[in-house]
A and B are shown apart, each in its own frame.
Chain A
């Protein structure tokens, strides 16, 4: 008898960075868990022919905005996890800026309930402070008991250094990481004055208020000192500047428990995207609100520094910061537009393009999408033992990839309700062909594209 959670993936090129495995092998998933990785496996199980494709552990996203509860017009747990599956992601960490905020066990329980049977594993992130207002600590122990894997007020940094210090102290004892959004609003500008893009040549041209790299670094440096003081496990969300990468590298050399992520868009795009990549005078396509994101897209030197830091392991993970929005949230004046990019379904294409440009290797990219994030947050505890690897007994999660496939981004084809991407019309190299979650095929492009 074969169960629906059995699958034999045959003939693919296996890349399992955690175990140093790379070669043409078969993968057998039994009862939703990895049973064997070996040559010429035979088993009584449905077969997926992966000849010519790369087979990796399912991707793990440390930074996903699923928007539910409260913003179901932007995304739902159902639509967001289908988008995840289409992007090769089998585990997504759902951020706390829902409505109500994920600052109580009840909201966490509600999210986990809705995530049952979803197309990806949803690991909730609890808020650090009540309502993410940066004042009073949320009940962090209750959140942990309810199942959160980290704490974050993402969307906002903790402006008050005293509150940050107490949060770090408290989280240190709870042994879960804090994921910090670094943006010093005294420098970036608060409220109406908040810089809506990177401050530099392009913002000067466009007459938009900018925020300098210093707005990120100021808070990041503060937090490194507080991490040293408190012993907290600190994670930096969406690092976007060269100086941030350097500071993280130094902190790691000093042995602090620090990790960091970078988004595909900060690796790949620059602030020129806001101007619509025009070369001769601004045109009606300038002021592209789909390129409005926090932290802002930066000049090429910052993006290059982030690529280098990802290659060397200073940055532990690629995280999407998938931030879906409804059309009216973006189709408005730049100043009024919402921040964020819908990223789950383009992440691997962007990274694969960087591989095709020889800026990163495929093995590095897969490491930073799998075991990198898992180790950063120690997600492989208890029931998730082996997550991000193809070790025997690990969750039977696979991303099956065609690294050479060239495709054109068309958000109309996204499963995500958020069509907001500045990549529309771009040709990317590298595509997820199929995704397996606990032995079940949750995405199969070949089946989708087969004639009816």
Chain B
């Protein structure tokens, strides 16, 4: 595919407050990761998100824009917020939403991913929202599926709707992200959220600093490789990195996996990398703090920061519904 600047006026495809259900122009069949979207497309998606937020603020938050569309959520991994968020997004737009999980399905009987997505396509699903513990699984599904695939998290690879809702949250808090300095702190190596964030934030013009010990960074960053991740700053010193930061995204540390292996102990990790009120004072005034959840309070973030005035964590969850409405809408009505 060749990236071309969008020539049409940068208006929302969805008239404010009133998604019509008519065809809009969107060239992507699937949403596998944000890396396939150019800057204009990311901005358009975020504008659609704003329109969807207006729908959410109505007294009766319902619109029939996706009436007749069937959305299947197919989760091979546990999830609370992402799945509920997609389900709600679909229902608000009038789609039929069916939830499938690997547990208690034919997957447990050894059915392959390809057979599962083919079956789901055969029963008439238009969109499959898929979470899978293995990186790349949604790409495999997309190769073999008649339905459109939305990646709701694949292993340690990508989580595009999380990255889009993070970008939306940051835009609302900071305005334009051009030249804004954003720190992503924690287990970058195993974070699909961080990878997708890198694409979104850099395409929106922000400068990203990854803050972590080398053991929690993916090897191979900043090699100027045509297939590499976007260029970033790297700092293992949180205090230094936070100076003049415009925003902070804290990541979940997988306690059971990391302690004693990637970091010596949770205590040492917290001492070096926990976002505390005191440290947050080093960043720009009122710098927003994001976290994709679920939180390990007292490990990567202190409880007072998690619930403090600068915390965007609850708003992230709210924005998640609007972002997923926009994604479902563009894919279902995009005509690609």
Contacts and interface: CB of A to CB of B under 8 A. Distances in A.
A333 B218 contact: no
Contacts of B136: 206-208, 286-287, 333-334
Contacts of B254: none
Contacts of B137: 333
A332 B36 contact: no
Interface in B213-253: 218-221, 223, 225-229
Interface string A382-400: 0000000000000000000
Interface stretch (A43-51, A197-205, A315-323): A197-205
Nearest to B218: A204
B26 interface: no
A280 B220 contact: no
A143 to B, nearest CB: 37
B143 A201 contact: no
Contact of A204 (B1, B30, B219): B219
Contacts of A210: 219-220
Nearest to B196: A207
Interface stretch (A109-117, A149-157, A160-168, A271-279): A271-279
B112 A201 contact: no
A336 interface: yes
Interface in A312-364: 328, 331-336
Given A199-B220, A207-B158, A331 B114 contact: yes
A334 B135 contact: yes
B65 interface: no
A335 B229 contact: no
A349 B36 CA distance: 34
Contacts of A40: none
B135 A206 contact: yes
B220 A202 contact: yes
B143 A285 contact: yes
A282 interface: yes
User: Which of under 10, 10 to 19, 20 to 34, or 35 or more describes the interface residues of A?
Assistant: 20 to 34
Listed residue (A203, A206, A275, A333) with the most chain B CB atoms within 10 angstroms of its CB: A333
Contacts of B219: 199-200, 203-204, 210, 212
Contacts of A287: 135-136, 139-140
Contact of A207 (B113, B157, B227): B157
B36 A283 contact: yes
B334 interface: no
Given A201-B228, A336-B134, A284 B1 contact: no
A207 B35 CA distance: 13
B180 interface: no
A428 to B, nearest CB: 23
A278 B114 CA distance: 22
A212 B142 CA distance: 30
A399 to B, nearest CB: 36
A157 to B, nearest CB: 22
Contacts of A203: 218-220
Contact of B225 (A202, A207, A332, A336): A202
A130 B162 CA distance: 50
B301 to A, nearest CB: 23
A335 B113 CA distance: 13
Given A207-B156, A207-B195, A202 B33 contact: no
B131 interface: no
Nearest to B228: A201
Contact of A280 (B2, B32, B225): B2
B291 interface: no
Interface in B104-159: 112-114, 132, 134-137, 139-140, 142-143, 154-158
B3 interface: yes
10 contacts: A201-B229, A203-B219, A207-B155, A280-B36, A282-B32, A286-B139, A328-B112, A332-B140, A333-B136, A334-B136
Ranked 10 nearest A-B pairs via Cβ: A207-B157, A287-B136, A281-B36, A201-B228, A201-B225, A204-B218, A200-B220, A207-B135, A204-B220, A284-B142
Interface of B: 1-3, 30, 32-33, 35-37, 112-114, 132, 134-137, 139-140, 142-143, 154-158, 192, 195, 218-221, 223, 225-229
